[in-house]
Amino acid sequence: MSVHWPGTHGLPTRDRATVGHRDMGRPFLLLCCVTAAAARVLFPAPANAQDVSPLAGVWTLNRSLSQLPPEIGFDVNWISSPGSAGQSAGSNGGGRGRRASGSGGGNRGSAGSFPTSRESYEDARRVQLVTAEARNPPVRLMVVDAAAAVTITNELGQSRRLHPNGREEPIEIQGASIAVTAKRDGDRLVVVYLVEQDREVRYTYSRSVSPAQLIVEVQFLQHGAGDKARLVYEPGVETEARTPPGGAAVPASARDQPAEIFDARPGAELRGLKSLGILVEDLSTRAVACGLNHDAIEGALSKRLTDAGFTVRKNSDEDTYVYVNVMTTTLSDGTCVSRYDAFLYTHATANLSYRDQPVLVQVSLMHRGGIGSSAPTAHAAAVARGLENYVDLFVTQIHDANK
């Protein structure tokens, strides 16, 4: 290893040799500088001495601590063109037999007149995607925070790479291009999705130390104001070991117990899935009047699953199944408007914090939903196409997890 004297870089060799003689008044200071520089090269600081991002790690959503309004989103913009079949805002977080408002019941949509505004299919698609993601947030996040980029990966292995420089950049979410900006605010990361004019969704990521939590604040901004949600993520098994409150010592018997072992690979919950049930909720009289047919929807979706290689059980909600719900109303001009949702459900036993033994719970593995309006003659085909697209997405994610 060669060490150059300070101030000699770029000088001819013959000049470098004489520099030391020009400043003999401070030989000890120069020797210290050279020694310190060589020490930094030979003995770099340990990795754990470097700054570590407070956001980095593996995080698991704690729903009981989170504040997540079920109907978070923008004010609804109905598509005014009677012949259009575009989709609009978001996905409902409800399960089987639940309405968009969260109450029990079937397809009892309320009739009435709605304000109309023109919205392109691309804008409606972006609104749908960001709303669905906010209403059904990732259960698991892995955050890799480098100086130039932050990569966020969910439990399905879907990654999003953001550059926190405040500049607008396009990213792709399920085939749709959305402009996004990211910037740092101290230890916080602020990410803004620019959905359409005067509509954006802001995510603010921050870290609390005691207890260790990743806090994600979500706000829908429409003309500067809108709905809010607060997501609380706790450290995953790869992030840090849990310690008792107050740092109390762990009993020897507890230390000797083996740690819980589970498959933490992205998409692990979809591996080995070969058989699916399908359950389509009964349609309302308004849905039937708009041309929708229960058996036709069930048959079309069953065929897509069968063609994809799955064994399909019709009208079945046992084990793992696809659940479909359609709610339809009509406008004063005769336009049909439907909200349609597709869920992939399964059942599992879980250790709940408020129970002393495992219980059987229903788990939502995937969910997609949208809104479409069109003339009665085209409405059934538009809704069927939207549902088929969602089922195709389910199939793609299942196949990707099993590669």
Going from the first residue of the chain to its last (403 residues), give the mean pLDDT of each consecutive group of 10, the final group possibly shorter: 42 41 45 46 42 81 87 64 39 37 36 49 81 86 88 83 92 85 93 88 92 93 86 72 44 47 75 93 94 96 95 89 93 92 89 80 87 92 94 92 87
All CATH 2.40.128.20 domain ranges of the chain, comma separated, are 51-68+137-239
Which residue, among 111, 114, 62, has the nearest Cα to 89 in the 3D structure?
114
The pLDDT assigned to 243 comes to 43
CATH architecture of 51-68+137-239: Beta Barrel (2.40)
At what angle are helices 376-401 and 294-307 packed, to 10 degrees? Answer: 30
The pLDDT assigned to 190 comes to 95
The pLDDT assigned to 350 comes to 80
Taking the CB of residue 311, how many other CB atoms lie within 10 A of it? 10
For residue 153, CA distances in Å to 129, 160, 267 come to 17, 6, 11
The pLDDT assigned to 237 comes to 56
The pLDDT assigned to 362 comes to 84
